[in-house]
Amino acid sequence: MRITKLIKVILINSLFLFFSIGLTLFVFPEIGIEAASDPPKLLIHSPQNSSKLNELNVSFNGTVINIESAIDDLKIFIYFDSNPEPIIINVYSENWTFVKELYDGTHVVKFELKDGQDIIGNQEISFFVVGAHGNYSTNTQACANCHNTHTASSGKGLNGGSASKKNASNMCMACHDGTTNAPIIDEFNQHNLHQQIDVEKGRIGSCTGCHDPHIDRTLENPFRLKEINCEACPEDKDSEIIINISHYRTLYYKKGDTAIGTADDYSFCFQCHNGVNSNIEQYYNSPAIITKSGHNVDAENESPLNGQMPCSDCHDTHGSSNIKALKKKLGDETRNDDFETSSNWSIADERNFCLKCHNGNTEMYGKNVTFSDKNLEGTSVSGHELDNNQACSDCHGDGSSEFLERSKSAAHAPIKGVAGPIPYLPPTPPPN
């Protein structure tokens, strides 16, 4: 019995030893497992967050590390302030750089790093830019651009002399004559109603009548328009007209990329064009007029416009070779054809003005401006033939007996379709 048990123990130990040696000699194939590589990462070196810059031409540079681990093409999408259109940089190497001209003031810039269509990283920085006019509260040296503390001949220390309207405008033109990136002297040298200074009629004449060089330029106020506009201030007690003009309103002017289309968006223009000069404001604040207006636009492009069109779509503030300060390039988009008027507003001028956009081909705010010689029932529409010489305002105006008044209403708030409650008027003879 003992011998049998001993033999069993020896056999079990032998088998255990055999399997142990076999397992030791047997080598399993090696399975290679690579360590996961880090994804690409965006680093921004300049400008730094919360920094203050003294140049309008801002240099941006940085690095993208681990670019070799990208699955697809790497791109950096860069969004400035509230602009939905980004600058796009294709990443071919680690370092990236570009230069962009910015206005003075605070800017918020968002960066997105994309691997193909996938966003794999994003950052946001903000910084302050001190521009040509400076910011006297943070950069007093910029004051020397226009002022000289010790040697200036005027009480305000202006380098150009006394602070008269003429000298103030000449000082502005020292840079805005084409020396910098905002040349306007050519417009000023043309027909300019705003150069005709007449306080009683609410007219203004100098650059500082509308602009304040000491305030920051912002997205909402890119042209440094005064919050209150006062060419001659209320201390002139003899002029009740001055006090009655809206000096104390906060004024705005918004273009098509920021305007909603209410009267408040264009209040800077309406401080004078509200009956003090010509009453254009009525076309922007009267619900009865706006409801029927063909210029009450619901934009289909990136514009937030959902109301009356901005003044600057048709008018040039600083001057024009056309009467009524009408632009040569009408509309919200740059176009090739020019609009030109005669010396007196005529029926031919009116038709030419309307047909520059209402031709079935031109787009305004993402919409094709339709024009047809037939209505929905297929009936011919009087005056819609291209070779017709009837005034558009005969049907689309406010029914005024005066051609110029009727034409003004049709230009700012043309009644959609046939004039509706306004009776049809026969073709209007040209004004004398």
Please say which residue of 298, 329, 360 terminates a domain. 329
If asked whether residues 324 and 387 sit together in one domain, one would say no
User: Among 89, 110, 129, where does a domain finish?
Assistant: 129
Provide the percentage of residues in the chain whose pLDDT is more than 90. Answer: 27
pLDDT of residue 52: 84
User: Of the spans 167-176, 226-235, 340-349, 374-383, which averages the highest pLDDT?
Assistant: 340-349
Of 242 and 404, the one with more pLDDT: 404
Look at residue 348 and tell me whether its pLDDT is greater than 80: yes
**CA–CA dist 36, 428 (Å, integer):** 81
Tell me, yes or no, whether 64 lies in a domain: yes
Asked if residue 83 belongs to a domain, the reply is yes
In a domain, 383, yes or no: yes
Integer CA distances (angstroms), 208 to 55, 68, 153, 163, 278, in order: 24, 56, 20, 10, 22
Range of the domain at 188: 183-329
Q: Tens of pLDDT along 384-429?
A: 887 788 899 999 999 888 999 999 999 999 998 754 434 434 444 5
User: What number is the average pLDDT over the span 124-144?
Assistant: 71
* Structural domain contains residue 174: no
Residue 176, domain member (yes or no): no
Task: Say which amino acid occupies 216.
Answer: D
pLDDT tens column, 53-73? 877 789 999 999 999 988 889
Phi, psi of 416 (to 5 degrees): -70, 145
**Which of 330, 292, 289 is CA-nearest to residue 313?**
330
pTM, to two decimals? 0.57
Which of residues 327 and 169 earns the better pLDDT score? 327
Same domain, yes or no: 111 and 245? no
CB-CB contact of 280 with 271 (8 Å): no
